[in-house]
Structure 1
Amino acid sequence: MKILVTGKGGREHALLTALHESPGSPTLYAYPGSDAIATLATRVSVPDLPALIAFMKEEGIDLCVAGEEAWLVQGDGLANLCATAGIPCWGPFKQAAQLEASKIFAKQFLQRHSIPTAAFSVATTAAEAKAALDTFPIVLKFDGLAAGKGVAVCPDRVSAETFIDEVLEARAFGAGDLLIEQCLTGPEISIFASVCDDQYQILMPARDYKRIGDDDQGPNTGGMGAVASRELADPDLLQLVESTIVKPTVEGLQKDGLPYRGFLYFGLMLTPSGPQVLEYNCRFGDPEAEAVMPMIQGDFAAYVDAAARGQLDPSLIHFAEGWSVCLISASAGYPASSRSGDAISGLDTATALGARVYHCGTRLNAAGQFETHGGRVLAIVAQGSTRQVARDAAYAASAPVRFDGLQRRSDIATLHFES
């Protein structure tokens, strides 16, 4: 089987590793991939999606797996183009991918199908947004894709108006409206599901850490770490999430005529009044994928291939017991900026200690050594029978990994857990 994965980061490195380790040993391709991914998959260099479709047809690609979200809504949409070409794609059509591409679309979908979520309003101008500020803290979200950085939890009017000006006046994230949302309180959890038309399977729960600094201080990032375990959500909670959120979402997609085959991420807050939806992502989360993928056992390639063809078979995979902890190493200046060209050391030591090392933003330099090439640089992941064992293993493996300007949180898998 020939499988192509779109993307180049740590999530795609984790997906490709899981596919590579599948019993059928599929032949793998990555668009555009990275120097690290090239050890697993043939990198594809084409200028755009139509050229990618032409390559897949010529090469006889059997399955396309959507990694990065942008391709799903770019141009005519990755899944749409694959369908026209007769190539099975594990990733939703462009119309359904608006659940992630437009936060306003997602909120209206939630409201239309009576799925619990925070109260909200929409502003198109800075003046309109500032006039809508009434209680604090308040949550402000840029409508479109912003690599996880288009959200601000504002404690007061000054911070809220500053963010409003950045989004609607300076257009820091490009054209788009602003979502103004009630601030919910409670622990967060990420629930992932495989959705295949009217079928679905809930996968392993995870929790990510979005802020750059310890104790959830500083600006939002794409994610600075994650923890995954079936123990994150007890059976009663999962049953409640399924009945009030997952099942109504899948039914809503069907009712709205939005074809969906792919991973679906539910970002939830466990409020005193029950779980509520913060956001949807139409692909696996990053860094949650790096934490979850090593826990998948069975034939992941066969599972995804069958689901992309309309046959979701939960028996093809199962999840390991225990815990998985992912630590992100970020470059100097992230998330406001990033620095490339800093040599990375200690990678062999990390793998020798039993950790998985996924490359988020690296490249090979002229000397054949990996160096930084992006904001989030590496995801170092370890498993253990308990959260503490997994955490200790992840930090022990991360300690030898160094580069100038490295940023790494010290409280992943401890913050938000009771001692």
Structure 2
Amino acid sequence: MKVLVVGSGGREHTLVWKIAQNKQVKELYCAPGNGGISAIANCVPVKAMDIDGMVSFAKEKSIDMVVVAPDDPLAAGMVDALEKEGIRAFGPRKNAAIIEGSKAFAKDLMKKYNIPTAKYEVFDKSSDALEYLKTQKFPTVIKADGLALGKGVIIAQNIEEANEAVVNIMEDKAFGEAGNKVVIEEFMVGPEVSVLAFTDGKTVKPMVSSQDHKRALDNDQGLNTGGMGTFSPSRIYTKEMADYCMEKIFKPTVDAMNKEDRKFKGILYFGIMVTSEGPKVLEYNARFGDPETQVVIPRLKTDLIEIFNAIIDEKLDEVNIEWEDNAAVCVIMASGGYPQKYQTGYEITGLDEAQKDSSTVVFHAGTKFEDGKYYTAGGRVLGVTAVESNLDLAIKKAYEGVAKVSFKDMHYRKDIGIK
């Protein structure tokens, strides 16, 4: 079997690492991939958003399955384009990926089908948004409607910050076309849990829970990032909560998408806020989360390709998905200055030493491999993941791995897993 994974981050390295464990996979490609991925797959210089290039490559190599991992190509219709050419593809089609591609669509869907979420309004004119803000309590949440690399959400503490956010998103176009509309919603209070779920549009099978650390600095201080680390399972996600979410959130979301004639097949990511009124949806993603994948997939016992095939063929109910009864922690090692300005091109040392313990694996996010050495090539550089019998041990092991890795100006949080 020949498999192509689309993308270049830590999520993709984790997926490639898991897929490579399938004995049937004889040829494994990743486009464009990264330094770490190049050690286990053939990296192909096709950009993740180059739909025509990806289709051409898949045809040329007679690829049996393309796994489209990032949000942008899913929202742009890469799966549709591959399927049109008779190529088997994993991931939602364009009309279903809109659940992440448009926050306004997602919020309207939840309102229409009574799925618990924060109160909100949508605006396509900045003047209307600014007027509405005069009536709001603070803090309040302002979101760019479209995809903004996880950075299009601003929690405004007062009217000045809120006004600045609206102008920045809608008038100054800080996130480009993603800011043509904004969603302004009430600020929900409570811990956040991430639950990714496999779904073929009929059956929903949630994965083990996880919790992400979004802020750049310890104690949840600093700017929002794509994620500075994560752990699984969540310490607060009980069986009762899981049952409630299945009944009130997971199944109703899949059913709602079917009623809208937008059957969702792939990975549905539920960002859940556990409020005093019960769990509510904070956000949907139409794919594996990053860095949640780096702690969830290492706990998966079942073969990933088997699950992907079942989803594509709408036979997910026939697969028994099993998980290890353990815990995983991932600490992100970032370039100094991330998520703002940072330098790249620094040599990375200590990777082999960090992985000498069989419980630890380093997933590459922003690296390149040249002349036998690894160099930094992005904001988030590495994710050091440790899998152990419990969370406390996994935290200890992950930080032991982190201590062995070194590159200039490296930055990481020291409190991952301690929420």
Q: If the length of structure 2 is used for normalisation, what is the TM-score? A: 0.95
Which residue of 184, 190, 193 maps to 2:188?
A: 184
Gap runs ≥5 in structure 2: none
1:384-411 per-position Cα deviation (integer Å, ceiling 9, x unaligned): 1111111001011111212111110111
SS at match of 2:248: helix
Residue 209 (structure 2) pairs with residue 214 (structure 1) = no
Q: Following the alignment from structure 1 to structure 2, what is the Cα–Cα distance between the partners of residues 156 and 20?
A: 49
Q: Following the alignment from structure 2 to structure 1, what is the Cα–Cα distance between the partners of residues 222 and 366?
A: 21
CA contact (8 A) 1:332 1:338 kept: yes
SS at match of 2:155: strand
CA contact (8 A) 2:268 2:284 kept: yes
Residue 30 (structure 2) pairs with residue 30 (structure 1) = yes
Q: If the length of structure 1 is used for normalisation, what is the TM-score? A: 0.95
Letter in 1 for 2:209: P
Over the matched positions of the two proteins, sequence identity in percent amounts to 37
CA contact (8 A) 1:189 1:269 kept: yes
1:326-350 per-position Cα deviation (integer Å, ceiling 9, x unaligned): 0001102211123211111111111
Q: Following the alignment from structure 1 to structure 2, what is the Cα–Cα distance between the partners of residues 296 and 231?
A: 19
CA contact (8 A) 2:331 2:385 kept: yes
SS at match of 2:198: strand
What residue is the counterpart of 2:337 in the other structure?
A: 333
| TM superposition shift of 1:23 | 4.0
Residue 20 (structure 2) pairs with residue 16 (structure 1) = no
Higher mean displacement: 197-206 or 125-134: 125-134
Query: Structure 1's 29 and 190: CA in aligned 2 closer, same or farther, altered over 3 A?
Result: same
Q: Following the alignment from structure 2 to structure 1, what is the Cα–Cα distance between the partners of residues 337 and 112?
A: 41
Q: Following the alignment from structure 2 to structure 1, what is the Cα–Cα distance between the partners of residues 84 and 376?
A: 38
Q: Following the alignment from structure 1 to structure 2, what is the Cα–Cα distance between the partners of residues 46 and 333?
A: 28
Which residue of 253, 260, 265 maps to 2:269?
A: 265
Residue 122 (structure 2) pairs with residue 117 (structure 1) = no
Q: Following the alignment from structure 2 to structure 1, what is the Cα–Cα distance between the partners of residues 405 and 45?
A: 30
Q: Following the alignment from structure 2 to structure 1, what is the Cα–Cα distance between the partners of residues 310 and 4?
A: 15
What residue is the counterpart of 1:6 in the other structure?
A: 6
Counterparts of 1:248-397 in structure 2 under 5 Å?
248-313=252-317, 315-354=319-358, 355-365=360-370, 367-397=371-401
CA contact (8 A) 2:55 2:81 kept: yes
What residue is the counterpart of 1:412 in the other structure?
A: 416
Q: Following the alignment from structure 1 to structure 2, what is the Cα–Cα distance between the partners of residues 167 and 399?
A: 39
CA contact (8 A) 2:18 2:304 kept: yes
Query: Structure 1's 39 and 12: CA in aligned 2 closer, same or farther, altered over 3 A?
Result: same
1:7-42 per-position Cα deviation (integer Å, ceiling 9, x unaligned): 010000000101111243442111111222122212
What residue is the counterpart of 1:167 in the other structure?
A: 169
Q: Following the alignment from structure 1 to structure 2, what is the Cα–Cα distance between the partners of residues 296 and 26?
A: 21
CA contact (8 A) 2:3 2:25 kept: no
The number of residue pairs the alignment matches comes to 412
| RMSD across aligned positions (CA) | 1.5
Which residue of 54, 62, 71 maps to 2:73?
A: 71
Q: Following the alignment from structure 2 to structure 1, what is the Cα–Cα distance between the partners of residues 78 and 401?
A: 37
What residue is the counterpart of 1:44 in the other structure?
A: 44
CA contact (8 A) 1:22 1:298 kept: no
Q: Which stretches of structure 1, 4 residues or more, deviate above 6 A after TM superposition?
A: none
| TM superposition shift of 1:79 | 1.2
SS at match of 1:318: coil
CA contact (8 A) 2:367 2:378 kept: yes
